[in-house]
Structure formats: structure tokens, C-alpha cells
Amino acid sequence: MRNTTAKKAEQCRMFFVDGKKFKTNALLGFFRVPLRRENATKLALLAEVLQKGTEKYPSVTAVAAAAEECYGALWQVQIIKKGGEAWLSFSMEVSKHVSEKEVLDFLLQLMKHPKRIDNQFPAETVERCIAILRRRLEAQADDKISFAAKRARELAAEDEGAGICADGYLEDLEKLTSADISGFYEDVLAHAPVYLYVCGDSDGRQMLKKWKGALDLQGKELWEFQQTSRKQALCRKIAEKANMGQTRLVLAFDSGLHPWDRAFHSLRVLCEVLGGGNGLLFQEIREKQGLCYDISMTCDTMTGLAFVQTGVAGKDAKHTASEICRILQNVADHGIKNDDFQDAVEQIRRKISDISDSQWKIMDYVAEQEIIGTNLDSEQMLRRLADVTVEDVVKAAQKLSLRTMYALTGEEEFSWD
């Protein structure tokens, strides 16, 4: 990301979000970790281990009972991938009737006081979590649509943190031991910048201060986060085999834009014009030519990559890819209709406005803005969207370069040639 966490920067930062209109308090705390192949599987396994017990609540059952005592609070420990970094995230949604002490005690147990013996996670717990993570990784390819999209993203950002799988790698999993995970947890506590968010009533500000104070993190050499310069490269054509009927086709484009660029909003509009619910790609490729079952286009906020995803018959994959590129080039050469532009802007405006209806959407948005370094609230974002013109969208189309053509297919004789 554009902002770099300096070595002398404060490790823990706090953010309050006004949530008076909601009936619950929502708390989010996360450790920022730069994604590397050598730490991805450790991080995924650590998130699993941290759910299995704490000093005060030494079992899964005890943790669940403690949450139930907090008026049935909802909680989660998970890995959230954001571009080339991952967030080791701890979240809790709880009734405003639950005391501040109970809420913070529960979260602090998960974050700072997991069940350990002599600073080591119990070997049997780690082994059980390895088995859980193994099954999850083995099942990833069952959802062909999600798997194809994930693989295309990784391939398009190969040699970058964004190209690392935050779910971990099977071939790395079996090598890990309790000592590996315990040591990595200590590294996270010592080197990861921490971000704390409370969305609730005004007393949430005081809760944040107590939360930060109780964490008592003393990190000195904090991990740094920098934007990777993506090298221009010839388009790669990749096909992977799976037991499936249709072929999932994903085209990855590099926009050359960063999320803090004002022109990034033009890219969002372009993706909506082309790949929204009734976008140009759907009208031409699905309705007129009948080449695909579904088609969409999205852009990744943290990387500036754009993706067209569709399901086709294997024999039609190459032609469909050519048609997608033709339609995109037509926009770059001849522009778009004003009605299509206005419809796309309105769809994005609604999506931005909808953020305020969910505490979790609000906090994810605010956190992402902080990490990117733009710090735009939703009203400022809407004003930037309103500044986008048809000409800006055409320029965004002209900048796109095809980076990866990916197919997940069951066709034995599939070929890009």
C-alpha cells in the first residue's frame, strides 16, 4: 500500500465509528501481516489454533459458553486478505447491555492470552487444527467458480504478495509443528501493526483506550508495507484441469492504477458498464451470442487488477475470450452511451450508500481507507464518483492490458491454440 509503516511508528492504532443507530456494539481488531509464501500457511493455521481455547477459557466449549454469557455474542477469528497483506482479524458483535469489562476480557483472551504451556501451543491442538485446515484446503476446488477466480487472481499477481494464497498451502502444512506456530505468534505480537475499531455509542472511545492499554504491545521493529511495482509482461494463457462440466474462464487485466488514484473511480465505473448485471458483456456475449452462462467484471480495490469471469463450454473459451477483448477495445476506441454510463454510476452510488447500513461494512470500508491512505468517508467517495465523466471511463478502458487468461476446465483436449 502507499503508506509505509515506519519502524518507529506506534504499533497499536485506534478508530471509533459512530454506531448509535445500531442495537449492538461491533468490535474489530486485526494484526497486519505482509503475505509471503513462507508465512501464509503458518498464519492460516494460527487463526485456527487461536479459536481452540484461552487461558481463562481452555476449550472450544468454554469459549462458546463465555460468548453465550455475553447475551449470545457473535465472534470470529479469521484471515482477511487485502492485496499483498493479510489481517489476522478478531471480531465481536455484542449487545450494548453487556459490560465493557466482559467484552474486552473476551477479546483480550483470544488476542493476547491463548491457551499455551510454557509459551507453546499444545501439540494435540495444533495437530487437530492441521487436520481441519487440510480438509478445508482439499475442499477448495469443490466450489469451481470461487476456485477459478482465486487462482486467476494469484496467477495475475504472481511474484507479489497479492499472488500468495492466504488460505495456506497443503505442501507446507504437513511440515509445521507447535514450535513453528508458537514462534510465529510471538513474531506477530512483536512486529505486526495493530488496528482497533469500535462501532457503537460514544463510550466506545473509552473502550478503545482500555482495549489498547490492556493489549500492552511493545513491538519495536514493525513490519513494513510498500506498494509493489508490477512489471509489464506478455499475457499468459493457463489452463488447469478439474472434474467439471463447463469451463470457468477468467481474464485478468492490469489497469496501471493504484487505489489512491482519483482515476480509480473511473475503473470502477468501467467494470460496472461492462460487467454489471445487465452490462455490455452480458448483452453481447450472453444474450446476443449465447456463448456463456454468466459473466461479470470486477476490479480489486487493493491491487488495481480487473477481472472478467464467465462460464462457457470448453470449445467456446477461446472465442469468448476474443469477444471480451473486442468489446473492451470497442469501448476504448468508440466510447460508451451516456445512458449506460449513468446507470453504472447509479449502481455504484447505491453500493457506497449501502455501506452505512452495516456495522461490518462500515468498519471494513474505514479500515481499507486507512490502509490505502485516502481516508475518504462515504460522502467524499460519492463526490469523487460524481466527478467521473464518460471520457474518464474511456481512458480507463484504454489503459487496461490483458495480463492473464485462465481456464479451469474438464475438457481433456482443451487448448488455447
Q: Using one digit for the tens of pLDDT, what is the confidence trace for 388-411?
A: 999 999 999 999 999 999 999 999
**C-beta separation of 35 from 209 below 8 A:** no
Alpha helices in 239-375 (DSSP H): 264-275, 280-281, 317-334, 338-354, 359-372
User: Which grid coordinates are listed for 210?
Assistant: 482500555
Q: Tell me the pLDDT band of 8, cut-offs 50, 70 and 90.
A: low
**C-beta separation of 250 from 308 below 8 A:** yes
Q: Using one digit for the tens of pLDDT, what is the confidence trace for 313-344?
A: 999 999 999 999 999 999 999 999 999 999 99
Query: Average pLDDT, whole number, for the chain?
Result: 95
**Domain segments of the chain as ranges:** 12-215, 236-409
pTM for the structure as a whole: 0.94
Q: Tell me the pLDDT band of 5, cut-offs 50, 70 and 90.
A: very low
Three-point CA angle 355, 357, 359, nearest 5°: 80
What is the amino acid identity at position 400? Answer: L
Return the CATH class of domain 236-409: alpha beta
Q: Tell me the pLDDT band of 7, cut-offs 50, 70 and 90.
A: very low
Query: Does 236-409 match 12-215 at the fold level?
Result: yes
Count of other CB atoms within 10 angstroms of residue 157: 23
Strands of the sheet containing 247-254, edge to edge, are: 236-241, 401-409, 247-254, 305-312, 292-299
* CA gap 242, 142 in Å, rounded: 9
* CA gap 201, 103 in Å, rounded: 14
* 3-state SS, one letter per residue, for 144-187: HHHHHHHHHHHHHCCCCHHHCCCCCCHHHHCCCCHHHHHHHHHH
Q: Tell me the pLDDT band of 188, cut-offs 50, 70 and 90.
A: very high
Provide the CATH topology of domain 12-215: Cytochrome Bc1 Complex; Chain A, domain 1 (3.30.830)
Residue 114 makes CB contacts below 8 A (sequence gap 6+) with 49, 50, 53, 54, 55, 121, 185
